[in-house]
Structure 1
Amino acid sequence: MNQYFVYILLCSDNSYYTGITNDLERRLYEHDNGISPSSYTSKRRPVKLVFHERFPDPAQAIAFEKQIKGWNRTKKEALINRDWHLLPELSVRKKQT
């Protein structure tokens, strides 16, 4: 059975990185060890896994990753904390005055 993971890392500069993988343990090793020197997390180590969700279908995982990448920090933190009830409220765009 194939599995895919959408994950969020907390970087040393307090930023979040969202990614997708079919091997979470391997991918965390790569982030932790700076395997890709030009990657976002390479200069922001150490990183900490703060959220992950498993998907059986790669299309669902990709769609969820793209959705999260469009979210602001507050909404990402609600997801990380599993505060599901806050997500709809945080989805409403604030009117600009």
Structure 2
Amino acid sequence: MLSSYVYILECSDGTYYTGITENVYKRFEEHQEGKYFGSYTFSRRPVQLVYFCHLMDIEQAITFEKKIKKWSKAKKLALIEDRFEDLPNLAKKKFK
């Protein structure tokens, strides 16, 4: 079983980037240095590592990463700020 990290970077334009890696600090440095030209974070540097969690199963990590990528900015911020009690309400669609 391969362990992985799911991480969120805050980009200089205020957007969030979510990714998965085996080594979160090495991957953060690669984003910061612009290792991959044309990647989402390349033109949005500098970036800040604002959240990461370690998962022992890579399949769980991939599933969690995909879930976060679909979340609103508000819901991602609640996760970053450890406001777990707010997550269910932020998932609800508001009708007018």
Q: TM over 0.5, yes or no?
A: yes
Q: 1:20 matched to which residue of 2?
A: 20
Q: 1:42 matched to which residue of 2?
A: 42
What displacement does 1:3 show?
Answer: 2.2
What displacement does 1:45 show?
Answer: 0.5
Q: Counterpart of 2:50 in structure 1: which amino acid?
A: V
Q: Distance in 2 between matches of 1:93 and 1:4?
A: 31
Q: Counterpart of 1:4 in structure 2: which amino acid?
A: S
Q: Distance in 2 between matches of 1:61 and 1:3?
A: 8
Q: Distance in 2 between matches of 1:27 and 1:7?
A: 10
What TM-score do you get using the length of structure 2 for normalisation? Answer: 0.95
Q: Distance in 1 between matches of 2:13 and 2:88?
A: 28
Q: Counterpart of 2:80 in structure 1: which amino acid?
A: I
Q: Counterpart of 2:79 in structure 1: which amino acid?
A: L
Q: 2:75 matched to which residue of 1?
A: 75
Q: Distance in 1 between matches of 2:92 and 2:57?
A: 28
RMSD: 1.1
What displacement does 1:2 show?
Answer: 3.7
| Segments of 4+ moved more than 4 angstroms | none
Q: 1:88 matched to which residue of 2?
A: 88
Percent sequence identity over matched residues? 48
Give 5+ residue unaligned stretches, structure 2: none
| Correspondence 1:5 to 2:5 | yes
What TM-score do you get using the length of structure 1 for normalisation? Answer: 0.94
Give 5+ residue unaligned stretches, structure 1: none
